[in-house]
Structure 1
Amino acid sequence: MSLNPTCAPTPPPLEHTSPPLSPNATPPPPDGGYGWICVISQFFINGFTWGVVASYSVYLAYYPSHNLFPDSSPLDFAFIGGFNFAFALLIAPIATLLTKLYGVRTPMLLGIILLPSSFIGASFATKIWHLYLAQGMGIGVAVGLIYIPATAIIPQWFLKKRSLASGICSAGSGIGGHIICFATEAMLQNVGLVWSLRITAAVVFVVNLVATLLMRSRDEEIRPNERMFNFRLWRSYEVRLLLGWSFVLMFGYIVLMFSLSDYAIAIGRSNSDSAVVAAVLNLGAADRYGRVEIAGTLTFVCGVLVFVMWVPATTFSVLVTFAFLSGAILGVFWATIAPLAADVVGLKELPAFLSIIWLSVVLPTVFAEAIALKLRRPGLGARSYLHAQVFTGLSYILASFLLFELGRFRRNAVSH
């Protein structure tokens, strides 16, 4: 499934026919066995890391409406949400290094301690900078320490079933986000902000601890490249296309993830309804995907849906329908990035390439929602998000063209 990352295009190896292994060759993935336990574990890790991050959209609507931090502005809360993603990705080189030195579980266990600690810290916040540190940076770093080391494990166990396994894992973030959005809204209404954060802390600690203890890598068999980065990979046209897709796509993804529930309020719906929209958005993300061509198609379709459904949506029913349909393809990046990266560079270079990918999308994750808020025109009511909607749709459509080009290039490489 890999291509030579540093040379001119060469056809990808066939998945079903391979020569006998030399003593130093990478053993083929077993396509099952204990790998399915890892899939279940990754499912829950995704649900209680990225699913929890997705539920920040409920807090994003809650904080400004309750004026809990008078020294804050809506832009502050947008940046805090962006910090969740940005610091999760910025910590990737350190997480990768810790994995190489001490094994996959060491950074994950550090994250498991930090994640609930950050939620508890946020429950004591009285100033906006407290939230920046706890609910922004702390949660982001914790998610990265848990998620980044686990990402490279599933491709090690699967080849022919790699897309299926990755799709099941990705469903965790969608289903987890769906459950946690509803639970967060219910807790905010019934036990208040402080205990909502503390209960979340207890749940994420238990679930992620059990899932992490069940994870098992095949690093000793595969012996991946020991470098945190391999910048020679940039020589590959395919690598540059995949990085371009990731970068552009993330602008649209962040805006959709964090703005849709606030848009529900902009068209006159309640905080409870905005939580429903956020939850349905995450429920739709439980779909599964294929590889280059399918991922490109889903990216394009998501952009089209923004223009044909979200832009004209002024009723709750249309908005929920859009949330479900777009949610089915919203998280295409998280569902496909590991198998796509393994396709392009192979298992040995996968950790180093993923480190580059994580860092490449830091800027979009930090600034996308801030850009959306700057594009918003509050005085226009239901049309207040028009410019942000166009920005989101164009991001997805442009990103899809980069992936279509990647598919075309790979097909031409095979034919020649």
Structure 2
Amino acid sequence: MFASSQCLRPIPDTQRSAREKQTQQRAPDTRSVFQQQYGHLGEWAFSPLFHQTPNCDLNPTDNNPESSLPRVAENEKNGASPTSPEGHRSSEPVEFKEGGYGWVVVGCVFLINAHTWGLNSSYAVFLAYYLNSGAFPDASPIVLAFVGGLSFSVALLIAPIVTFCIPRIGTQPTLGIGVVVQAAALIGASFTTQIWHLLLSQGIGFGVGMGFTFNSTVGVVPQWFVTRRSFANSIATAGSGLGGLVYSLGTNAMIRNIGLPWAFRILAILSFVVNGACCLMMKDRNKALGSVHVAFHKDIFKRIEFWLFVSWGFFGLFGYVISVFSLADYAHTVGFNASQGSILSAMFNLSQGIGRPVIGLVSDRFGRINVAGLGTLIAGLATFFIWIFAGKHFAGTIVFALFGAFAGVLWPTVGPVGAEVVGIQLLPSALSIFWMILVIPATFAEPIALTIKTSGVDAYLNVQLFTGVMYIAAFISIWFLRVWKIRELETIALSEEDVLRNDDAVSLTTSRRTELKPGIFRSMFQGMLTLKRV
């Protein structure tokens, strides 16, 4: 009648006395409740000669307790407690099932990224227009580049403020603030006549709106997934790539046909409508997971692996910002027209839009740190060997633009990699610190690029070398992070089920160390050569 009736087996004689003592200590009304609900089965369950083992077969030769672990985990995932009969609902709230409404959340974050970061990526088109049209004759190229970097950096700088707001007013209201501020900033930018107007509107104002929108949603998707966390997160982040594709082409066409002011106003209307609709459908699982929304969690600062994670993002963002903001102006520098420049930016963003879900799917299969590191290395090599040597030809620059997925590998992997480093509960706090530090490359990457830019056909050679070095430095950082991860996995007693189902288990089980850590040189050697999935 009940699956638990098939899960009863005799206790060895050596364990009977301990079992009898436990039986005598049970409350009488607990026994009576079981008898009322299960009849003789309830009395049998309290017998000292038997004990209940969940989801096991009546096989007297099966004495391996680990053989039932996968089915126990399956029951727990579906809402049954490990000790409850199979098919019987626990009185506790049913645990969430992976995906479900989470796919709606993925779609919402996808559209939000398309109308925040994707829209921001079109600043490459704005910058090329500002530099070559004389729209702001009193502004230097560095100041104009600073506008795009300012919006980027402000969006990251306000991460602690957003982290502070979410547990107090909720995710949806915090997201709503960003939706309104971003649209208002674009409307304000349509009336600019001086450079300081542009700095306040398209720089600071747009950055504040984008920051509230982005930081409210960046940690939500990983809450809904475990085994497909990277894939789901990469689909969500692909929105910025596809949004950048659409807005790079659309913005150039709007500026050319209806002028700069109305281009800003149409962008404001589009972002407000789409982001507002997504805000209404957004749901998080902060309460269910007990997420820690503390802007500066002190324990995180003490962890060397966290700083390796930060340095990977720090150097990688230098390379990414220069790549995404410089392509349109680079096209003009080497002799391409404005239309070709917008096509380059569009191809770069198309590569991100298509490549990010693939990166997420592959990283779930082969390891999130592995794929993040490999993608960073490929971005550096593409910069050195494709952009430098083939970039003077339009076809060669298109090929480099198609490596945009690797150039922006930070975005689809930052959430899943961060969860492996600090755990899903501390992820909001860790990302708050992470984005705060990344304000530096976000602000100064493009001004540095225009500062070291020279003149002539090879004007961007120094910029290309600097970009490649940044990607290689980021790769070295995440390689050491991989060394740490492998070293930790060797010293923690995790079941096979834990390793397969929960990649951030290292951060949650540090008290379960069973042996001393291996030597650092041995770990570095293993981190370089082993094919272990991390």
Superposed pair shares fold, TM > 0.5:
yes
Aligned to 2:435: 358
Q: 1:348 aligns with which of 408, 417, 425?
A: 425
TM-aligned CA distance change 1:27 to 1:415, over 3 Å = farther
- Tell me the distance in 2 between the aligned counterparts of 1:238 and 1:285: 27
Residue 140 of structure 1 aligns to a residue whose secondary structure is helix
Q: 2:180 aligns with which of 102, 113, 120?
A: 113
Structure 2: where are the runs of 5+ without partners? 1-68, 84-89, 492-534
Alignment of 1:226-375 (within 5 A): 226-286=293-353, 287-288=355-356, 289=359, 290=363, 291-312=368-389, 313-324=391-402, 326-375=403-452
- Tell me the distance in 2 between the aligned counterparts of 1:166 and 1:26: 26
The sequence identity of aligned pairs, in percent, is 39
Q: CA RMSD in A?
A: 2.0
Tell whether the 8 Å contact from 1:280 to 1:323 is kept in structure 2 after alignment. Answer: yes
- 1:321 Cα shift? 1.4
Tell whether the 8 Å contact from 1:21 to 1:27 is kept in structure 2 after alignment. Answer: no
Aligned to 1:404: 479
Determine whether 1:174 maps to 2:241: yes
Tell whether the 8 Å contact from 2:72 to 2:82 is kept in structure 1 after alignment. Answer: no
Supply the AA of the counterpart residue of 1:264.
A
Aligned to 1:132: 199
Aligned to 1:4: none
Residue 109 of structure 1 aligns to a residue whose secondary structure is helix
Aligned to 1:209: 276
- 1:246 Cα shift? 0.9
- Tell me the distance in 1 between the aligned counterparts of 2:163 and 2:435: 11
TM-aligned CA distance change 1:16 to 1:375, over 3 Å = farther
- Tell me the distance in 2 between the aligned counterparts of 1:189 and 1:231: 51
Tell whether the 8 Å contact from 2:115 to 2:243 is kept in structure 1 after alignment. Answer: yes
Supply the AA of the counterpart residue of 1:231.
K
TM-aligned CA distance change 1:100 to 1:178, over 3 Å = same
Deviation per residue, 1:155-214 (Å, 9 max, x gap): 110000001101101111100100110000110111111111110110000111111111
- Tell me the distance in 1 between the aligned counterparts of 2:342 and 2:98: 38
Aligned to 1:5: none
Determine whether 1:163 maps to 2:240: no
Deviation per residue, 1:42-64 (Å, 9 max, x gap): 10011110000100000010012
Q: 2:101 aligns with which of 15, 31, 34?
A: 34
Determine whether 1:383 maps to 2:429: no
TM-aligned CA distance change 1:21 to 1:330, over 3 Å = farther
Supply the AA of the counterpart residue of 2:461.
L
TM-aligned CA distance change 1:261 to 1:408, over 3 Å = same
- 1:382 Cα shift? 2.0
Deviation per residue, 1:232-279 (Å, 9 max, x gap): 212222111101111111111111011111110011011111111111
- Tell me the distance in 1 between the aligned counterparts of 2:138 and 2:167: 43
TM-aligned CA distance change 1:242 to 1:394, over 3 Å = same
TM-aligned CA distance change 1:204 to 1:415, over 3 Å = same
Determine whether 1:191 maps to 2:258: yes
- Tell me the distance in 1 between the aligned counterparts of 2:105 and 2:234: 13
- Tell me the distance in 2 between the aligned counterparts of 1:293 and 1:393: 20
Structure 1: where are the runs of 5+ without partners? 1-13
When normalised by structure 1's length, the TM-score is: 0.92
- Tell me the distance in 2 between the aligned counterparts of 1:316 and 1:29: 50
Supply the AA of the counterpart residue of 1:412.
R
Tell whether the 8 Å contact from 1:245 to 1:399 is kept in structure 2 after alignment. Answer: yes
TM-aligned CA distance change 1:405 to 1:26, over 3 Å = farther
Tell whether the 8 Å contact from 1:26 to 1:221 is kept in structure 2 after alignment. Answer: no
When normalised by structure 2's length, the TM-score is: 0.72
- Tell me the distance in 1 between the aligned counterparts of 2:445 and 2:72: 44
Pick the structure with greater CA Rg. Answer: 2
Deviation per residue, 1:71-94 (Å, 9 max, x gap): 201001110000111000111111
- Tell me the distance in 1 between the aligned counterparts of 2:97 and 2:167: 22
Aligned to 2:219: 152
Determine whether 1:99 maps to 2:166: yes
Supply the AA of the counterpart residue of 2:142.
L
- Tell me the distance in 2 between the aligned counterparts of 1:15 and 1:100: 35
- Tell me the distance in 1 between the aligned counterparts of 2:151 and 2:298: 26
Residue 391 of structure 1 aligns to a residue whose secondary structure is helix
Aligned to 2:488: 413
Q: 2:467 aligns with which of 369, 392, 415?
A: 392
- 1:30 Cα shift? 2.6
Q: How many residues align?
A: 399
Supply the AA of the counterpart residue of 1:357.
F
Aligned to 2:128: 61
- Tell me the distance in 1 between the aligned counterparts of 2:294 and 2:467: 35
Aligned to 2:15: none
